[in-house]
Amino acid sequence: MNLAKTLAVAACAALLSTGVLSSAHRAYAQNADDSLPDTGSWGAPGASAADEAASPDSKGPPIDIEGCWDGDVSDKVDGIGDAFFGFTQDGKKIVGMGDSGMDLDWPDSSFAESPIQGTVSSKGIEFKGQAGKGCPFHGTGKGDASELSGKITFGGKCAKFFKHVRFSISPGPC
């Protein structure tokens, strides 16, 4: 019996010393009080880069498109023609109400012209307009302050005539 008691005491002592020497995990109670200040934090590999990429400021300032731009427009049916855009820019906005516009002309006498409005980012533009009753369109262009290339999608009645419209423009004289 003495041997059994000695082994039991030794086992208990070993367990206690292991608990004291090893690092204990913290236990937290859940707190339903939402009035406490937000003093917590978190982290993960790459998390700061993802947060910064999602921030509008990290995307950079909008490209400068103010002024007149001209170049080429192509269409599946009409071929290659001339594109002219006039942009009035207010920060990230392409100012509408007739201050900005688009004029597309093809050699076969096809054309589309309209005031436009939209947005400007550090990588390009998005715009929309109405080339007459029943002819809505929207477009996107990517590039920089020296060249923009993109596409325009027409809806309504115009969609039958203007298909796969692409443009490439650069700053030009007004």
The pair of three-digit structure tokens given for residue 53, joined into one six-digit string = 């990429």
Residue 18's pLDDT is what? 40
Q: What is the pLDDT of residue 103?
A: 97
Distance CA 154, CA 167 (A): 13
Torsion of CA 165, 162, 171, 102, to 10 degrees: -140
* CA torsion angle 31 36 37 40 (round to 10): -10
> What is the model's pLDDT at position 148?
98
Which superfamily does 67-171 belong to?
Quinohemoprotein amine dehydrogenase alpha subunit, domain 2 (2.40.128.120)
Query: CA distances (Å), 2 to each of 5, 8, 9, 13, 112, in order?
Result: 5, 10, 11, 16, 104
Q: 49 — phi, psi (to 5°)?
A: -65, -40
CA–CA distance, 102 with 141 (Å, rounded to integer): 13
d(CA 74, CA 80): 4
Instruction: State the pLDDT at residue 127.
Output: 98
Cα–Cα distance, 162 to 159 (Å, whole number): 5
Residues of the chain with pLDDT under 70: 1-58
Q: Which amino acid, one-letter code, is at 137?
A: F
Encoded amino acid at 117, one letter: Q
pTM summary value: 0.66
75: closest CA among 107, 122, 37, 116?
107
pLDDT at 74: 97
pLDDT at position 77? 87
Tens digit of each residue's pLDDT (9 = 90 or more) over 1-44: 454 444 344 444 443 344 434 444 444 344 444 433 333 334 34
Q: How many CA atoms lie within 13 A of 68 on its CB side?
A: 7
Domain locations in the chain as residue ranges: 67-171
The whole-number pLDDT of residue 142 equals 98
